[in-house]
Each structure stands twice: as C-alpha cells, then as structure tokens.
Amino acid sequence: MTEAELLDLIAREEDQGIECKAAVLSRREIAEYAVGIGNAGGGWVIMGVSDRRPRKILSARMPSGEELTQMRHSVAESAGVHLDLDVVDTSRGPVLVAGIPGRPRGVPLHTRDGKYLIRLGEQLRGMTVTELDLIRAEAGIELTARPIDEPAASVISAAGLEELRRIMTETEAVPDLQRLSDTDLLRALGVLTDEGQLLVAGLLLVGKPEAIRARLPRAAGQSLRMIRDTDYDLAERGHDCFAIALRRMRELVNANNPITTIMYDLVHAEYPRYPTIAMRELLTNALAHRDYAGPSTVMVKLYRDRLEITNPGGLIGGVTPGNILHHPSVARYPTLFQALTRMRLANASNLGVARVFRDFLREGKQPPSYSGDEHFVRVTVRGQEAQREFVDFVKDRPDLEVDELLVLRHLTLNREIPPGTAAEVCQRPVGDARGILERMAAERKLLQPDPAAGGQPGEVYRLGPRAREALGRLLDPLMDRRERAAAAREKVLAALRERPLSNAELRSLTGLTRYSAARLMAGLREEGLARLEGARRGARWVIAERT
C-alpha cells in the first residue's frame, strides 16, 4: 500500500470495513477484528492513526519483521483468517495496516474461543443465531447433507455400526429397518446415496474417529467427572461417532448414578438419580443440535450434586429456555435429525423435551433447567432422589399430563399457585394455564380455589384435600407454618369477639412464641381488626369492632 492510498483510507468515515487505532493491537484483539470485519465482507485495521477525524498519523512503535510473521500465524491459527500485514512508511511516520479478506461463502468466521463477531458501523458485536444461519444457508446445502469424497467403506466404523444397531434395538425402531444390511440400513436412514456416497450425517453417525477429525476437526466431545468447579478426576475426550459418543457419555453418568429403591409387597422398584431414558434424550439432543461447524465441543460435566450438558450453538428457530417445552421442533441439521428420527432416537414432533420433563416429574423431581445465548445451550440437571409419595400418587393417576405434573410439583413447594405463575411453570399463555388449573380442580379434583388468598375466586389455587393427604410429608414445611399461623389468626379473632386477651393468654391459646404472637397481633392491628388497650400488666387486646 502506498502513502497516498493510506491517506485516502484514513480520510474516510469509519464503517464496518475500516477500524483506526492509535496503537498496535494485541494478537487477540487483531484476531477479533479480523473475524468481525471478515464476516462483514472484509476491510482494514489501521494501527498508528488517531481514531477521530481529522485523523493524524501518530508515532507508534511498529513490530519487527519477526513479530509481523508471528502475528500472521497467530491470527491464522486462532481465527482462520490470513492477514495481509504491511508497515507503510509515510512522511509523518510508519503505520501498520492489516488487510482483512472477506469470509468464504457460507462460512462464518469465529475466534478460537468460540466468538462469532461482526462489524456493524463502528461496533464490533456478537452475531445472532439468525445471522449465522443466513450465512450458512449461502452454501446452498446444509452441512450434514454434503457428500464426502472418501469411499464409504474406508471411513465407516464397524464398532459404530454395531452400536447404532444396539441403540435401534433399545429404541424399538421398526423391525424391518433393523433387518437390513449395513449398506441398505444407511440408505434407509438417508445418510448414504444410491451411488454409494456417504453424507456428512453418516460420517457423524458411524464414522471412524480419524475420519471425523480430518473432516470436522471441531466435532469432538468431552466428558468430565468433577471433584469441584475447577478440578476433575476422570476425563474422556475424542472425535467418536454419534453412536459411540452417546454410549460413552451414558456410561459416565450410569457409573455415578445411585439408585433409590422403593419396596412394595412383591416388587422392589428402582429409580436412578438421573432417569435412564431422560438422560439418553438429553445427551442425544446435545449431539444432534450442536453446531458442528463451530469451534467448541459438547461438554458433559458430572458433579456430586448435578449434571451439566453444554453444546455449542445457540437455540434456533425461535426456541428459548422459556418456551422449549412446547415449541415446535427445529432441527439445525435436517439430514442428521431425520436419520435419528427414523431410528426413534429423536422426535420431530418435539415430544422429546416433554418426555424428559415427564420422567423427572413422575418421580417428584425438578425437571432440567435450560440456559444459554447465541453461542451455546446448557442443560442443568439436579441430582435428586425419587419421592415415594409422588411416585405412588402418579402411579394411581397414570394419565396425568406434563402440565399437571408441573403444577403439582410446584404446589409441593409452595402454598398456592395463581394462573400467572402456572403460565411460567408450564410455559403456556395465561389463558391456557388458567384452563389447566380449572380442569385440575373441577375434573381431576386435585386442586381447589383459595378464596382466602385474596382476589377473585378462581384466581388462586391450592392442593385439594385428597392430594394433600396423598402427598403428605413432601409438602413444604413453610406451608404448615403458614397454615398454623392462619389457624392461630382465626382462633385469636374468635376469642377476641368473646373477651379481651392479655399477651400471656394469647400465647397460651395459640401455642405461639412471644415473637410470633407479637407479629400476629401487629398484623391484626395494621388490618384494623384488633387494638391494644391499657399498659404493662394491664394491657389487653380487644376486637376493634367492640371499641
């Protein structure tokens, strides 16, 4: 670049293609700008120039030739961008210019640590899932539908095929499908063409680790058994195919999955801390919906008290942590997902998340929680033991829906549930949630309106007598305390209508402590229902309507 060309560049307005900096940036910062400007179509980072117009060339220290080489290598390795670095000598001093090419068609750039950045105007920001999908759609064919160049036989793992068939037996896939030869099976799953070319989806399902690593270097998985947040005592990493990776992740969980035994007359029912089928569904979702073009790996972390499953790539198609239970299914990679659907390992009708919730809720456990952003999704599962009362309650009512189970579990921890809270718990509109509560009260006889809670009748619900009796000790102790306080309140008001009461008589009547009794009476006084007359030993509480 000549001095005249440089002066012409720095005279322009800063936009997504030009970034001026007073000093030479660090390699990490250059890599981030290379990604952001590359995703925006390419441009320049000009270092040694003031960033405000009229711009001036400053006397910044320029890197040596060896340092420039290291910068090129570092950015190419961390961001996949090959910079054109040039020190331009001008009459006012040297300036470092980094020429940044535009991204390849259909391929979004990212940093080594998984940041998808884009330069818009003068801002460098993270890309949204929609923006990423639009870029990838430019290629004209989704990743897992692309054929690979190598002969299918040379990249298929015999162990992967064997494990795939074992999974199909477990999921009770169509028997005719299971009886097919290996080649016909892969064709039936839609991952092998009639000409014998294996698609990327087939490579991911049953490919050899070295073939997957060569074609998709980021398509790795990692499982850790954590001692604490920063340390682990067992780790497995690799580029295993889908079938093998799923088995190994399940083995890690199952080896550290204590069982609760509930004894009946002739049967000892066993309930793992992490339900087996639910875990298969969660791990399958992580492997199926992850971003295979992204820089990160699927990560399974097993702690003493919880399990965390993290996969790269944010939720897509309008799915959020707050609507994932009922939102229509959206596949990041339709070819791979359709193969899993034919195996009955995935479900195109979005029944999978509901089934996971159901498996946890039937045992009285909190369902998984979802979090994440445009770059990742994390599922956190608390380690919990099965609750016999809830198990027995559900066994007597096998037709309970997931929404109803969510409401019931909420009411084992809370005294009441209004429609607004039910809407959040069930991930439904408020009108639908109100209908669920009304049906559970009128038809199921599991709930009852709570007019004493304030508001209009039917606006707040609590457990009905039969449900309270069946669930017994599971109910939050706070509920008992609240109900005792409510009973004490009614008892005091009834007694005050008969005669005045001293503080000592109040405590004797209700069994409350001095502090609790004082708090109760302070509340009645604020409500205008009682007042204190007299002082010291002569002080007596009287009903307000008597004065």
φ, ψ for residue 432, nearest 5 deg? -65, -40
Please state, in angstroms and as integers, the Cα–Cα distance from residue 76 to each residue in 30, 135, 236, 435, following that order: 11, 21, 28, 58
Structure tokens at 266: 């002739």
Are 49 and 120 within one domain?
yes
3-class DSSP state of 385: coil
Structure tokens at 542: 């009287």
Q: Indicate the range of 31-40, 205-214, 323-332 predicted with least confidence.
A: 323-332
Quote the CA–CA distance of 389 and 409 in Å, as a whole number.
12
| 430 part of a folded domain | yes
Q: Indicate the range of 45-49, 75-79, 339-343 predicted with least confidence.
A: 75-79
CATH number for the domain spanning 14: value is: 3.30.950.30
Q: Residue 113 — pLDDT band, cuts 50, 70, 90?
A: confident
CATH number for the domain spanning 466: value is: 1.10.10.10
503 pLDDT more than 80: yes
The string of pLDDT tens digits covering residues 227-238 is: 988 899 999 999
| 514 part of a folded domain | yes
Are 123 and 7 within one domain?
yes
Pairing of strands 530-533, 540-543: antiparallel
350 pLDDT more than 80: no
- Asked if 93 and 56 count as a contact pair (C-beta separation under 8 A), the reply is no
454 pLDDT more than 50: no
Are 421 and 503 within one domain?
no
Predicted pLDDT of residue 16: 64
- Asked if 357 and 406 count as a contact pair (C-beta separation under 8 A), the reply is yes
The string of pLDDT tens digits covering residues 241-300 is: 999 999 999 999 999 999 999 888 778 899 999 999 999 999 999 999 998 887 778 999
Are 121 and 41 within one domain?
yes
Q: Which residue, of 113, 137, 161, is where some domain finishes?
A: 137
| 311 part of a folded domain | no
Predicted pLDDT of residue 285: 92
Domain of residue 486: give its range: 479-546
Tokens 């920063």 -> residue: 230
Are 71 and 84 within one domain?
yes
The string of pLDDT tens digits covering residues 300-335 is: 999 999 999 999 888 887 888 999 998 887 888 999
Average pLDDT over residues 106-124: 83
Q: Is 278 exposed, middle or buried (0-12, 13-18, 19+ CB in 10 A)?
A: buried
Q: Indicate the range of 107-121, 194-208, 416-430 predicted with least confidence.
A: 107-121
- Asked if 20 and 14 count as a contact pair (C-beta separation under 8 A), the reply is yes
Pairing of strands 43-47, 18-21: parallel
- pLDDT > 90: percent of the chain: 53
| Interacting residues of 151 by C-beta distance below 8 A, sequence separation 6+ | 196
Largest CA distance in the chain: 102
Q: Which helix (H) or strand (E) holds 433?
A: helix 430-442
Q: Which residue, of 87, 102, 137, is where some domain finishes?
A: 137
Are 436 and 497 within one domain?
no
Structure tokens at 433: 């949630």
Predicted pLDDT of residue 456: 52
| 512 part of a folded domain | yes
Closest CA to 108 of 216, 36, 200, 15: 36
Predicted pLDDT of residue 517: 84
Quote the CA–CA distance of 544 and 330 in Å, as a whole number.
62
Are 424 and 502 within one domain?
no
| Interacting residues of 314 by C-beta distance below 8 A, sequence separation 6+ | 129, 372, 373, 374, 375, 376, 377
- pLDDT > 70: percent of the chain: 95
Predicted pLDDT of residue 213: 92
Are 457 and 517 within one domain?
no
Are 106 and 85 within one domain?
yes
Closest CA to 276 of 341, 337, 363, 350: 363
Q: Which residue, of 85, 104, 137, is where some domain finishes?
A: 137
Are 440 and 392 within one domain?
yes
DSSP-assigned beta bridge partners for residue 99: 44, 84
| 396 part of a folded domain | yes
Tell me the one-letter amino acid at 307: L
| 113 part of a folded domain | yes
Sign of CA dihedral 463, 465, 467, 471: positive
Predicted pLDDT of residue 483: 66
Quote the CA–CA distance of 474 and 470 in Å, as a whole number.
9
Are 537 and 470 within one domain?
no
Quote the CA–CA distance of 38 and 16 in Å, as a whole number.
9
| 449 part of a folded domain | yes
> Looking at per-residue confidence, does 313 or 144 come out higher?
144
Q: Is 535 exposed, middle or buried (0-12, 13-18, 19+ CB in 10 A)?
A: exposed
Quote the CA–CA distance of 357 and 216 in Å, as a whole number.
33
CA within 13 Å, CB half, 26: 4
Closest CA to 392 of 280, 502, 469: 469
| 378 part of a folded domain | no
Average pLDDT over residues 149-168: 95
Are 69 and 115 within one domain?
yes
Q: What is the pTM of this model?
A: 0.70
Domain count, the chain: 3
351 pLDDT more than 70: yes
Predicted pLDDT of residue 307: 95
Predicted pLDDT of residue 54: 83
- Asked if 211 and 150 count as a contact pair (C-beta separation under 8 A), the reply is yes
Q: Indicate the range of 36-40, 176-180, 486-490 predicted with least confidence.
A: 486-490
Quote the CA–CA distance of 192 and 44 in Å, as a whole number.
44
